[in-house]
Chain A
Amino acid sequence: MSENPHQTYDARILEVKDLTPREKLFTLRFLDPEIGEHFTFKPGQFVIVDIRGFGEFPISLCSSPTRKGYIQLCIRKAGRMTKFIHQMKEGEVVGIRGPYGNGFPMEKMEGSNLLLVAGGLGMAPLRSVLWYAIDTGKYEHVWLLYGTKAYEDILFRDEIIHLLKHGDAVGCSVKLAYEVESPSCIYLERGFFDRVCKGVVTDLFRGEEFDVDKAYALICGPPVMYRFVIKELLDRKLSPGRIYMTLERRMRCGIGKCGHCIVGTSTSIKYVCKDGPVFTYWDALSTRGLI
């Protein structure tokens, strides 16, 4: 039955970590070592998680293909299925199929500067890019602009704070914007007054000079964020072909059959699961409804 694309592969939950009150990080390993060996993916791709007898849901991979032997998924408790997996414990088994989608063109971007713009849960797929870039060292410099609601909502907080402190040594500059003030945020802001500020993610662009001929922007965040971030990037004359964004839609099958993620009009129809979820701004200009 291996040729059946609906069949999933068993993976054991190695670790469950609370990231925020709503999000948990699941570290998984395939039971079959051969599958674990051959399972590889590109940053920006996603998998379908199968909880037997309850259903399936798509989730983006937030670990990096450079770190073998396990995969990580950052899952927000948002619905019936995710609520169920939040109750699962280390040692339990779920099904995984994938990886699906096109992912970010990491090879094409080698030697360039990467500008990662994340909003909220959008940090998850971009963490995969971040790790990949740091691990391979094939990119000149990486900026991460991360907008979050409050201190408690910062995903991968330890990693982010670590990079705030020591990121420059590995060619990575992190900037953080928060909306809700709290003592922790103020403390953080005092420590990194030029890197942390109150505001939204677009405020982090202020005062930054990017070499637009050598840069690629990779965006992921809530739907409302794209318009503002893209405007900011276009104002800085970044070419639409260098703006990549990863989108969310209802992806039921992941293989371009079930039709839920179709966007576009009579001249251009795209399956977000198959043609995306990573699109350039050119794609957004030619396919209505993409952003």
Chain B
Amino acid sequence: MASRRAPRLGAAVAALTLLLAGCSGDSGDDDGKITLQFQSLAWQKESVDANKALVEEWNATHPDVRVEYIQGSWDSVHDQLLTSFEGGEAPDIIHDASDDLADFAYGGYLADIGDLLPERLKADIPQRSWETATFDGKIYGVPFLQEPRVLIANSKWLKKSGVRVPTPGKPWSWPEFRKITKELGDGTDGKYGVAWPLKEPVSATLNLSLSTGGKMFHRGADGKVDVRFDAPDQVMPRTVHDQVNVDKSASGSTLGMGGSDTLPGFFGGKYAMVPLGFSYRQQIVQQAPKGFEWQVLPAPAGEEGLAQGVSPQTLSVSEDSAHKKEAAEFIDFFLQPKNMVKLARGDWMLPTGEEALQDPALRTEKNGWSAGTALSEDLRPAPAQSVRGYPEWKDKVATPALQEYYSGAIDLDELEKRLVKDGNLVLARYQR
């Protein structure tokens, strides 16, 4: 996801724009024709192709409103957009992720497009998805692609072990998941039941903890948020900790890895399962040795069922855009159900639109599509979605604390102390 330097850059921006305010000018249209800039973050070939094809289709049918495709990149989008906003040169239509929108929305950089979007689009996307891009009751983006975390499993290994294979209708509970991973492998012969790639442990922990009712961030009546680490928040972290440090059913060496890093071990038969984002299937299809059999399983469930947090990809309109209405019309065209299907297939993700989700191409069993699509109703806004100060809490407090806990360096009490006590000190600075 996008890199975050908001506090640093924000401070610089505030000081420097005071000095340089008023230096920027507006650009007008020529020939009465409108040109909209659309910055896309599509990066996989199929996805880029789908984006460009849709832009071409729009341009062919809308001679008076031309869309110019601009390629951005996930790795740097936050800083790049912030600079563009400040310089008055932001693209009209902006592709980003919902967890990156809060700062831009509160900063006044994004337009409230609630009144500009057609009812068709509003009705097609469920409310739970709209909530990811809604701040103070205003809609600052259209969520259109989302990615649940799933268990990618070695099919032959599961079959051979005889364990119950979970389905979205009857998933594993967290205790059952722990028991089964122990049966699958405890590391004695170099084989493990699961490999947790937790180089960036915070979003995985927060999002999966929703299944047990964990929220971690609690908003009071005064609108202020405080961090708690109650029993429901502890189920998922304890499971991972115990798998690594007690049962030895999870490899400790993968805790510092990213998802891609675990794939060679998965293909090589070291791990029976790897919890990964749904889109990792593309890498698996490309890289798995011939004959390697794999399947997509739902993540473990708790009292709240299969619920988990996601931060969907979004399309927003810049507040500085002189053509917000036309930008919203392009978004409506871009996210027609058939187009959403193309975009979802290009990115190996799930569309948010209900109609697109019914498309047979996303219901096929091939490459685990149907197993993922079945999870779509359980996806909720990521708990930290609109919490100001979350990036700092994540980087300075939660990431090192969770990494130490998962590796066994600290115990649960110490983890709680850091997440809550240190964490609330951080959040307090943003809520004065």
- A and B from one assembly? no
User: Which B residues contact A (CB, under 8 angstroms)?
Assistant: none
